[in-house]
Structure 1
Amino acid sequence: MTDTGYSQPTPIQEKAIPVVLQGKDLLACAQTGTGKTAGFAIPLLQLLQADREAGIRNNGIQVLVLTPTRELAIQVEESFRVYGKYLQFSSMTIFGGVSAVPQVQALRKGIDILIATPGRLLDLAAQGEIRLDKLRYFVLDEADRMLDMGFVHDVRKVLKMLPAKRQSLFFSATMPAEIRQLADSILYKPQQVAVAPVSSTAETIDQVIFHVSKEEKRNLLLELLKDKSINPVLIFTRTKYGADKVAKFLKKTGITAAAIHGDKSQGQRQQALGQFKEGKLRVLVATDIAARGIDIDDLAWVINFEIPNVPETYVHRIGRTGRAGASGTAVSFCDQEERAYVKAIEKLTGVRIPVRQIELSATAV
């Protein structure tokens, strides 16, 4: 894996890869940013290649990876392409929000590895464009996010299309009871692995909190963004409406910003994310669901404009920075009503978040 810059496996890769290669079902508790995609993509490519070398010819889709969002689907498919650079396996993504015509044309040519979101997969299957009866490997990625986004019913429909004899890999950042039940319905005698429990925050992330009134949050944000080194920055809000408001406010002040959330079309979300990665946007404002799967190298700043009311969500949010050993800063704005949320976060993580103060000189526009 020298082409990808890897010299040693991450903990999830070390635990998951041998299980996959042994042909066993896997139940893995791992967050985004732990290297989990390589933890299933590399061994699955190895298994496909071993079949080919043994003269076993398989027609039809061999691998299905189900993801909750288009962004994640694209990243997973990119990983398969990178890791399988010297192998001759075809892969593609299918997702909603765009024309199905190019996707159908590519499917008709034949595909080995399919990465899909549930809705579009079911649509194309209903049209007879997708058959999964020859499938050998099934991966459900970010199962808890599937639950959050209301996709579990669709996932169960997809499961009915799969052959009973298959190897299934199940990844989730958290394991609430509903996710356990879903896992039980998918997996057969799975090996369980877990890394980076959701309560842990990376030591490389410098966390800081500002106590501020709700009305002064925008002033505080402007004050911080006067520092040009705070670039690029990912800002979190609890609601779609809040994300739009913050992005609109920043654009009024001359700061390049965009919002991504569930009400934006897939095209709008992908465009904003692309511009952010390319450095054309200084600020990306996101809700938690939209931000899941955002994988941006060298993202040094995360700002919680609003504190999440679920403490595990805070860990996910700030985990967007400080990745792969890099340093990062997570800043949180806490108003009076949110103080209880901060206490819950500190109880979960076992870390007291340092409080800082700042003189506000900016005036909100």
Structure 2
Amino acid sequence: MSLQTPTALSRVNLHYAIQAFAQAAGGVFLLAVLLKAGVSVPVALLFQAGIVAGRFVLRPMVLPLAKRTGIKPLLIAGTLATAAYYALFAYLGGPGPILILLSAVSSIGYLLYWLSFHAYFAALGDPAQRGGQVGLREAMVAGVGVVAPLAGAWALTAGGPKIAFLLVGLVQALAIVPLIGAPNVPVARTPPEGYRMPRLGLGLMFGDGLFAAGYHFVWLIALFLTLGESYAAFGGAAAVAAIAGAAGALFLGRRIDTGRGRRAVVIAYAAAAVIIVLRALGVGTPWLAVLANAGGALMVALVTPVMMTPVYNLSKGSNCTLRFHIATEGAWDAGCFVGCVGAAALVAAGLPLSVPILIALAAIALLVAQLLRYYGRLQA
């Protein structure tokens, strides 16, 4: 039976939308809650670096499990482990042993989840329609993102972190329901004949991890501080941003599938560079920070199909999607670790948060050079 069925992909997209609700209602607030609990900015960034370092170290252990179970059970386990992480976050009281435990549980949960999700999505999707499929997925996430951060901000304000994160953990756990009837994807016990690991996949994911450090993690801290450490204002800014994101994902994803990949790269990452500069300028200026945050959601909707289409297609072409993503997700962790540790060092040295945000510009240069070569070969 072919794995590439509309029903299978629809189940995965519904699963992803539910977990995206949990991410937008709780995950986006995690660093903000750390700051509220008395954790300093450099320590918060090192906490994030510790999570990705833990994932990097634990990653080789996944393959033996996957050989026995296939990919879907790992995706379900990662979903539930992430739910446990959110529930544990409800009991964070500040710096201390619970923070170390959170880092360990998060490493396991995010390792199992994102590794298996990307491998699963790559296996179920159709390379000829990949851009549109990724675009539709991201448009769904953008739609969810309008409501979820408002719900998260309300729960944090009305009930406090304990109630809010327990509820978020429950939502995350419910994301396994659409997967119950989805097909499993087996993993060969030995690398299949013709298995290959394109270096492009490693380079792209390292660059994307480095980009995420400045664009996403440093920015979340900067935005929260700029908005006066208000959960309501922070959630409102995230909701406004999500409204801007949906149309961009659908528009650019389809242009990739019609052979306009190089143009899509230029559009997406030119927008990314502008948004990064706006975010750096917006630190300390609430109205500009909200504007830059909204523009960032549109930018992510543009960038994700451009970035993930080659990654998923290279994965499927490697003949073993899981082995491919074990390597490439490790490269993402390495890039994010470098970015977060570098950002923590810059902040600890007394530089404003606007400086480490600009780390993302170096990542853009690395990504654009690789993506233009990839899409150029397709269009030649």
TM over 0.5: no
Point out the structure with the larger strand share.
Answer: 1
Question: Which structure has the bigger radius of gyration?
Answer: 1
Superposition TM-score tier, normalisation by shorter sequence = under 0.3
Q: Which has the higher contact order (CA 8 A, sep 6+)?
A: 2
User: What TM-score does the superposition give when structure 1 sets the normalisation length?
Assistant: 0.24
* Bigger fraction of residues in helix: 2
Task: Please give the TM-score of this superposition, normalised by the length of structure 2.
Answer: 0.23
